[in-house]
């Protein structure tokens, strides 16, 4: 069932990268905006006469904390009416109409396998929410691999936060991989995300009797990355039910 539209107030805006901005929205009609990490909200922006052409959906980048404030991380798209409006018209104090939470891209009820969070760009948003939620509530889990693909070091959303988390929590591994940087220190990879999870899986499979290593894969980002990742993971012997998708664009 769709949630009713409600009003949100922009209470804070911060640049995360040159083309990416964080927006904190306070829901004025509730004291506790309850959602599951991985879900999204839909904004109704005044950019078109037809309602369905005004709607833009964004994953919630924050995690449930008992308050009525959520965070979105949004990239400025060239020619994108929605993001042009959000970046150039919206300021602290602006009100937006939104609906949610929506979506079924959420964690399983019990986490019985290693989790691979594979993403590009702002696709890191739901995984930031999921990781903090698991760790904050001390939910039983195995290993969590956050494999984040972007072009340049300056594109690494939440990079400092993720590095700090991986230093504190032994079960969490943050592996950024950069397609337009040169190889360097061991803390990051170069190239694309696919080689990273393939290497990890092959390494894990050598330690499991019979060679079948159980894992769940969550993919979030642009269609090309998701399509390729899905095929590669299937070719490694995993079933479709082990692959969960959230498509951007």
- Strands across the sheet containing 40-44: 55-59, 40-44, 95-102, 6-17, 20-27, 69-75
* pLDDT for residue 234: 95
Does pLDDT of 27 surpass 60?
yes
- The reply to whether 177 falls in a domain is yes
* pLDDT for residue 71: 98
Cα gap 192→198, rounded to integer Å: 11
Q: Which of 55, 74, 102 is the last residue of a domain?
A: 102
Percentage of the chain beyond pLDDT 90 is 72
Q: Which of 80, 102, 124 is the last residue of a domain?
A: 102
Report the domain count for the chain: 2
pLDDT, one tens digit per residue, over 104-119 is: 999 999 999 999 999 9
Q: Are residues 232 and 137 in the same domain?
A: yes
* Residues paired with residue 75 on neighbouring β-strands, in sequence order: 20
Q: Are residues 120 and 81 in the same domain?
A: no
pTM of the model: 0.93
pLDDT band at 32 (very low <50, low <70, confident <90, very high): very high
- The reply to whether 109 falls in a domain is no
pLDDT, one tens digit per residue, over 153-166 is: 677 899 999 999 99
pLDDT, one tens digit per residue, over 168-185 is: 888 999 999 886 666 666
Does pLDDT of 42 surpass 60?
yes
Cα gap 207→151, rounded to integer Å: 32
Q: Are residues 13 and 77 in the same domain?
A: yes
* pLDDT for residue 192: 75
- The reply to whether 1 falls in a domain is no
**Are the C-beta atoms of residues 121 and 75 closer than 8 Å to each other?**
yes
Residue 231, domain extent: 114-248
Q: Are residues 65 and 26 in the same domain?
A: yes
């Amino acid at each position: 069932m769709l949630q009713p539209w409600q009003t949100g107030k922009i209470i804070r805006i911060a640049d995360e990268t040159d083309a990416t901005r964080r927006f904190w929205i306070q829901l004025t009609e509730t004291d506790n905006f309850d959602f599951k990490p991985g879900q999204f909200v839909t904004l109704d922006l005044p950019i078109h006469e037809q309602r369905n052409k005004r709607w833009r959906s964004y994953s919630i980048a924050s995690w449930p904390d008992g308050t009525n404030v959520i965070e979105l991380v949004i990239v400025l798209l060239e020619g994108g009416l929605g993001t042009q409006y959000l970046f150039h018209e919206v300021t602290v104090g602006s009100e937006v109409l939104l609906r949610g939470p929506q979506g079924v891209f959420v964690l399983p009820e019990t986490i019985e396998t290693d989790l691979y969070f594979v993403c590009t760009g702002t696709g890191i948003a739901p995984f930031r929410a999921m990781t903090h939620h698991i760790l904050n509530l001390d939910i039983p889990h195995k290993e969590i691999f956050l494999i984040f693909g972007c072009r340049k070091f300056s594109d690494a959303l939440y990079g400092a936060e993720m590095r700090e988390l991986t230093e504190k929590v032994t079960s969490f591994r943050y592996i950024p991989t950069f397609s337009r940087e040169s190889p360097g220190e061991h803390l990051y990879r170069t190239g694309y995300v696919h080689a990273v999870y393939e290497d990890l899986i092959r390494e894990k499979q050598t330690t499991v009797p019979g060679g079948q290593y159980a894992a769940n894969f969550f993919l979030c980002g642009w269609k090309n990355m998701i399509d390729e990742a899905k095929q590669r993971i299937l070719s490694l012997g995993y079933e479709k039910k082990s692959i969960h998708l959230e498509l951007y664009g």
